[in-house]
Every structure is written in C-alpha cells, then in structure tokens.
A = this chain, B = another copy of it.
Amino acid sequence: MSTPRHLWEPLHVRLLRLLRDEGPLSRAELADRLDVARPRLLSELDRLLGSGQLAEAGPAESRGGRRSTLVELNPAMRFAAVDLGATSIDIEVVNGRLEPLAAYSEPADIRSGPKPILQRVNELLAKARVEGVFDRLDGVGVGVPGPVSFRDGVPVSPPIMPGWDRYPVRELMTREHGCPSVVDNDVNIMAVGERQGGVAHSVDNFLYVKIGTGIGCGIFLNGEVYRGSDGCAGDIGHIQVDAHGPVCSCGNIGCLEAVFSGAALAREATAAARSGASPALAERLAQNGEVTATDVATGAVEGDVTCIQLIRDGGRRVGIVLAGLVSFVNPSLIVIGGGLAQLGHIMLAEIRSVVYRRSLPLATGNLPLVLSELGPRAGVAGAAVLASEIAFEHAS
C-alpha cells in the first residue's frame, strides 16, 4: 500500500537525480520523464539554472516543433567520496554524473583517532584542489567502519574506532568544505554503490554482505537503505553459528565473525601451515613469515585441498546465517562483497548450496546470489551517491 517514492519527493531532487543518472536531456524529455506540467518544470529549471546547479548544454535533436536546448548538471559540480576502512583511506572526487576525476588511496590506522585521520582526508582533498580537480565541493560523503547515527552524522560506540564515539564528523566536514555532508556506515555505502552502478542496479529489496576483516550487511528495503532504530541494523557478524565455537572478540561464543572472517581465516590457515596439513600454506609461511586470506585464495586456485576445505567451511557458515535472513526478510537479491569476496566461486557455491537448501522455497525461487561487481570501489561509489543526494536535497 506504499506510494511510489517519486510521487512525494520534491521536483528539484527528482530532476537533479535524473540528470545525474542520464546526462543531458532536453526540456521536452524532462517533462516526459518527470511526468510534470511544462510550466512548473520550466520555472524549476529557471531557478536551478539561476542558482548554478544546472547549465545549458547546446541544442537538442529536433522532435519536430521548435528546437529545444539540452539541460545538464553544472559541469563544475563536484562531490568528494571518502571511504574510511580499518586500515585505509580511499577518496574519489567525482563530477555531477559521479564519474571519478581523481582518486587517492593510502594505508591509515582508524585507531589513530578522528583528528589525524580527518586531517589527512582534508590534506588529500586540498591536494586535489591544488591539482585543479575542483574549485569548490558541492557535497561530501563519508563512510566509516562502525555503527553511525545517520541523523546526527556521528559514529556511535564503534568497536574498532577508539576516540570516534559521537565525534562530529559530518559537522566538521560541512564546516571545512562549506557544503552539505553525510556520514554512514561502510557497509551501507557499499550497498548504495552497488545499487547505483553495480549488480544491484535498481533492485529495491536486497542484502549486501561484506565479508572482510569483519562481517556486516547493508540492507535495502523498498528502495531505501534500512538503518534500524539505532542505526545499527545489519550487524550480522555476531550472529551465532556454532554453540560450541571459539570465543569472539565481543565476548560471546561462536559468532560468525569468530569462525569466518579475514582474521579467523588467517588464524586457521596458519594452523594448517604449521601442522603440515597444507603444503601450499606451509610454503607461504616459510617464505613470508605469515599466511593471509589471499594465500588461502591462491592455494585454492592451485588445487590445495586444505585451502578449498577452509573456504567451503567458511562459506557454509555464511550460508547458514544468510539462509535465516532470507527466510526473515525475503530479499530479491544477495550480493557478496568485501575483501574475502576474492575467495570467489568456491565460497559462493557453498553459500548458494546452503541458502537454496535451507530457506523457504518461495523465498529462493527467484533469488540470485552473486559476487559484487564494483569490488573494492563499492565504498567510494556509494559515498559519492550519498554526497550527491544530500547536495540535491539542499538545492532548494
């Protein structure tokens, strides 16, 4: 019984979003696509041309009558997309159509606290400005690896981000760059990115499952990110999968993250290397002094039986959790992303086999379960989308 989103969203937001996603359009095409009376459209266009959000873009192809001119987003429009990971900073500056004009990536420890991290973000953006990538920013989107109060624009009790609790990230970015800003959880921005330019394009109900250092889930319901009552929806890493499993960092027993994540996999791979169960992993350990999830992926590709088994066991555990969520939320798509997505089709096959066997047949009849298309770019791609949305909402 819910009304389609476009019927109650302001015209200027719908208009700017359409030009972002489709590029230059004529006034006639805009009137058709937005299903709005021409006089109202023209007055809105005049307003947005006057305030500098829009620009004329040459003559449109003739549709018979009087020639019309194309309208586009101001070519100088710029958004900054910032993806803060546990151990990395990734930034892109994009134009109004969300095309990247510059990208910066470097290692950084989120635990060093908000001041040095945000200072480094601002230094990188200052560099981009000096290099002529932008003159001024129209919106900033920031993703952080922890729970966020979306409304307040602050991290809330983030377990791996000491010093960040309720730190006014959004307010500081807004002040620094003189434009609207938005802060969200890293998994949510990845889900947003995958929906804008990846495999979840235009899908209204889907789950984006990030399997990396930790495990989390971005939730799209009815075409919107669902964040929950306290902004911490999607925290699936601490769902119990083994009542007799290892103790998790959260203090509970047998959480998904404790039995399968980057850290858990490295631990089990090291044990397999030491015990001699896996010749491939033993060789890596001798060479590098450590083994990582990437070594397990490589070993599996080379046919090492223990590596394949480790991935299968992990996939099965993820599958059990996802089977429950499929029964609960009945999504129309599941996307697997994050660092461990590199484990690829062996893991995917195992997840699929458990989900398709264990969930309600009605819920899995048309349920694709696929790997992320955007891979490591999903985060910045989503942060750029959120930056544009907040800028469009303020363009009134």
Contacts and interface: CB of A to CB of B under 8 A. Distances in A.
A240 interface: yes
A92 B252 CA distance: 47
Closest 7 CB pairs of A and B: A228-B330, A8-B8, A229-B332, A239-B324, A233-B330, A235-B327, A232-B362
A154 interface: no
A361 interface: yes
A144 to B, nearest CB: 14
A352 to B, nearest CB: 16
A1 B234 contact: no
Interface string A343-362: 00000000000000111111
A330 B1 contact: no
Q: How many copies does the complex hold?
A: 2
B324 A231 contact: no
Interface residues of A, number: 54
A331 B231 CA distance: 10
A262 interface: no
A236 to B, nearest CB: 6
A230 B324 contact: no
Contact of A323 (B217, B224, B240, B327): B240
A342 interface: no
A3 interface: yes
A157 B332 CA distance: 18
A65 interface: no
Contacts of A365: 230
Contact of A360 (B232, B324, B389): B232
Nearest to A10: B3
